Amino acid sequence: MTQSASNPASPATLDTPRKPTVMDVAKKVGLSHTAVSLALRGRPGVSPKQQQRIRQAAAELGYQPKAAAQMLRSGRTGYIGLLLEPGGPEMLTHSSSSNAILSYFLHACQHSQRRYNVEFYHQNPDGFEPPHQLAGSLVDGLLLGGFIDAQLRKWLLQQPHYKWVSVDEPGPYAVLSDINIGVAQAVKELYDLGHRRIAYGGGPYHYRQHEIGRMGYLTGMSNLGLPVDESWIGRFGSMPQVPQMQNSRNQRQWVKNLLKQPNYPTAFIGNGIGVARNTLVEALTMGLRVPEDISIMAVGVSTSAMDTCPAFSTIENDYRTIMNTALDMLVQLVDGNTVKQNEVHVNPVIVMRESVGPIQA
Amino acid sequence: MTQSASNPASPATLDTPRKPTVMDVAKKVGLSHTAVSLALRGRPGVSPKQQQRIRQAAAELGYQPKAAAQMLRSGRTGYIGLLLEPGGPEMLTHSSSSNAILSYFLHACQHSQRRYNVEFYHQNPDGFEPPHQLAGSLVDGLLLGGFIDAQLRKWLLQQPHYKWVSVDEPGPYAVLSDINIGVAQAVKELYDLGHRRIAYGGGPYHYRQHEIGRMGYLTGMSNLGLPVDESWIGRFGSMPQVPQMQNSRNQRQWVKNLLKQPNYPTAFIGNGIGVARNTLVEALTMGLRVPEDISIMAVGVSTSAMDTCPAFSTIENDYRTIMNTALDMLVQLVDGNTVKQNEVHVNPVIVMRESVGPIQA
DNA sequence: GTGAAAGCGCTAACAA
DNA sequence: TTGTTAGCGCTTTCAC
């Protein structure tokens, strides 16, 4: 650690010595700071030999360019933003879809070597306030993850400065997942295994995913000529109003009534792993076996589905493709290129696991 | 939107007009840019009347200070960093403890009006690379959330520039949760409900929480003079090596063997909601009732615990207190104040729910 | 291929 | 109370 010795100037307190700058590196190798800047960014204009010396000197000094200065001068931040909705003040964990969006966003960024900045958008109680990322110009563009405050969307629409792409919600540039197609396909797969009596449960239906999921179920059933009994469609409370434990109890009660019927369903599709789990637990409590007596499928993410044994078969948003697509789209916008499609639809994936089996003779 | 009209200078392309700067606001009100800067930050030196005019003009222009410039000039970023470990390249959702840490971090930041920057630390395959937050000096200080790469910790220890506080892992400044105390207390509470045969399962034991949880179980049992049978302590695989589904199956198999014994336990404490859920499912499959035949407790977060019915009684890290404490500590460090305690211990909380009941006569 | 100079937008020190 | 000046650390432009 020789950097304090090589930084004789400037008021550096003893306990926190100044970080080295381009100038320090330049002095060390006896070149101009311009050369250092170019070399470290791999730009042409510096001979390979000098480049090597500069790199080494930088490494020895522990030099790291200050992002603020780079942003200020270059007019680009080099960062991509992700804006998510937090669970809310009292709901502590954010939803599993936010979680998946975040995970695959990170994955995509790592893959394409992009720096990111994740922000969780909180509405300000006194008056609208835009997200810091944008207000402070800390990102070149933004991915809006899932459902986001309407006021913010409105504000964004009338801002000329910002580039953004919406994920799984509509917008001028958007990537959407057609979970309805997945649900309809799940119905078909259950049908092929011999199932004819298939029930469905989900909600709250003001979320796009839940609403189109329900529609997918209806479509799937009607495509196969299967009758739909409205009492076989569960509608579960909107999270913020109904406390989670009560919601969970309601689900079990509904499933209990469903399975008490003489001709109870042989298969169930739940929109959300929680719904599926409560169905599993209720079935087991009633002495039914899964999947022998009843098959269960869930709309949800893999990790949650495999948490419990038997692992759930799932209808999953293909967040990997979704986020890669969205990031590509945003990069095009940021780079000023024209974007081919401003709305891309991504098909969900079906993964069969232990909770589904053929109907028993 | 009059900003383009009031920005006659500079090469602003038509589609992305330049964002207004302090100068634009200053011109509009006929004052110096210094006055504008002071006024908008609420610093003394500008008369209330002018302040009012400046604020209004800024609002009309949609002026927002550029964070990069503020950081560069002031030498402070005004941002607090949180560094988390992502689930890994293939494990997509990060752990529920990361999730809770993140949620309460956001909560604490919102509460104390602090800006934050969340980064997920990825090891670079070719050589060590420090997190961008620090490398780019984008934060004034850092909270290390949970288990973080050993190489990074080592690097941090020898860096003089950075202020950081470790959450639930040891470090020069750290906030730790004594989950062992919670587990021991849970044993006591089960004892008070009449339970004498109490089993425990957890792992992987290289995580601090799992290791000290197991110790808490041993302490709790020995405090009450209850005998410990080693075969009643489940040891479940280390996540990365054993695939999740297999791990889940192993857990059920272990529980099955446990509950097949003639004198099987009347209570079970699982370190992790997953373990608890698999125990529930296996018990139900074997025809046992929860909590009548067996009570189940889990170390884990509320939201996961209430996801399934019956809701699990939990031993929870008090992440609210943990994160508030850690943030306070970091702010002290950043402000250059001396910190009273450099290691704070926080007691966990026990929440009783439906999965636990008194022993049946 | 290299170096000098300008300046991104802001804040902090000073002078009026 | 106000305006002027300098400069944070870097990238860019332009002359050599």
Evaluate if residue A187 carries a pLDDT over 70. yes
Q: Which of A19, A160, A278 is facing B309, going by the closest CB pair?
A: A278
Report the residue of A3, A21, A93, A320 to disrupt the B interface, i.e. the one with the largest count of B CBs within 10 Å: A93
Average pLDDT of the residues of chain A:
89
Q: What is the 3-state secondary structure (H, E, C) of B16-56?
A: CCCCCCHHHHHHHHCCCHHHHHHHHCCCCCCCHHHHHHHHH
Test A68 with B307 for CB contact under 8 angstroms. no
Q: Is pLDDT larger for residue A126 or for residue B330?
A: B330
pLDDT value of residue B90: 45
| Residue A73: nearest nucleotide (C-alpha to C1') | C8
Rounded CA gap, A296 and A198, in Å?
10
Q: Does A6 score more than 80 pLDDT?
A: no
User: Within 13 A of B51's CA, how many CA atoms are on the CB side?
Assistant: 11
Please tell me the predicted confidence (pLDDT) of residue A206. 67
- Identify the pLDDT of residue B203: 74
Q: Which of A11-25, A45-59, B306-320 has the lowest mean pLDDT?
A: A11-25
Decide if A309 and B252 are in contact by the 8 Å CB cutoff.
yes
Please tell me the predicted confidence (pLDDT) of residue B238.
Answer: 63
How many contacts does A have with B, using Cβ atoms within 8 A? 186
The reply to whether B22 Cβ lies less than 7 angstroms from strand C is yes
Please, what is the end-to-end C-alpha distance for chain A in angstroms? 76
Residue B357 and residue B295 in contact, taking contact as beta carbons nearer than 8 Å: yes
Residue A241's pLDDT is what?
58
Residue A202 near residue A275, CB atoms below 8 Å: yes
Tell which residue, B124, B122, B121, B138, has the closest CA to residue B83: B121
A34 touches strand C (CB under 7 A): yes
Q: Which of A71, A106, A302 sits opposite B68 (nearest CB)?
A: A71
Residues of chain B with pLDDT under 70: 1-17, 88-95, 206, 238-242
Put residue B271 in one of left, alpha, beta given phi > 0 → left and psi -120 to 50 → alpha.
beta
A20-36 per-position pLDDT tens digit? 999 999 999 999 999 99
All domains of chain A, ordered by start, with CATH? Answer: 22-74 (1.10.260.40), 79-176+322-346 (3.40.50.2300), 179-316 (3.40.50.2300)
What is the reported pTM? 0.89
Q: What is the pLDDT of residues A237-251, one digit of tens each?
A: 765 556 778 888 999
Nearest CA in chain B to A92: B103
Separation CA B177–CA A24 (nearest Å): 43
Stretch A191-207: mean pLDDT, rounded?
89
Instruction: Tell me the CA distances in angstroms from A120 to A87, A146, B105, B110, one per residue in order.
Output: 9, 12, 11, 10
Taking the C1' atom of C8, which residue's CA lies nearest? A73
Residue that the structure tokens 């009449």 belong to: B194
Helices (H) and strands (E) counted in chain B, each on its own, are 13, 12
Query: Which of A88 and B132 is assigned the larger pLDDT?
Result: B132
The predicted structure's pLDDT at residue B56: 93
* pLDDT reading at A131 higher than 70: yes
Share of chain A above pLDDT 70, in %: 91
- Which residues does residue A84 pair with via DSSP β-bridges, in sequence order? A120
CA dist., res. B20 & res. B204, Å (int): 54
Alpha-carbon distances, residue A214 vs A180, A190, A235, A271, B114 (angstroms): 7, 16, 10, 8, 41
pLDDT at A239: 56
What per-residue confidence (pLDDT) applies to B99?
Answer: 84
Read off φ and ψ for residue B73, nearest 5 degrees. -75, -45
**Does B93 contact A77 at a Cβ distance shorter than 8 Å?**
no
User: Phi then psi for B242, rounded to 5 degrees?
Assistant: -90, 125
- Pick the closest to residue A85 from A153, A179, A187 (CA basis): A153
Confidence of residue A205 (pLDDT cuts 50, 70, 90): confident
Region of A201 on the Ramachandran plot (φ > 0 left; ψ -120 to 50 alpha; else beta): beta
Per the CB < 8 Å rule, is A86 touching B106? yes
Q: What is the pLDDT of residues A301-334, one digit of tens each?
A: 888 898 788 999 999 999 999 999 999 999 999 9
Distance A32 CA to C4 C1' (A): 9
Of B100, B120, B122, the CB nearest to A92: B100
What is the average per-residue pLDDT within A278-294? 95
- Residue A89's pLDDT band, with cuts at 50, 70 and 90, is very low
Does at least one atom of strand D sit less than 7 Å from the CB of A65?
A: yes
Tell me the residue ranges of DSSP E strands in chain A.
79-84, 115-120, 141-145, 164-167, 174-177, 198-202, 233-235, 267-271, 295-299, 313-316, 343-346, 349-351
Instruction: Please state, as a whole number, how many other Cβ atoms lie within 10 Å of the Cβ of residue A269.
Output: 28
The per-residue pLDDT for A238 is: 64
Interface test with A, best of B104, B304, B309 (most A CBs within 10 A): B309
Residue B220's H or E segment, with its range, is: helix B208-223
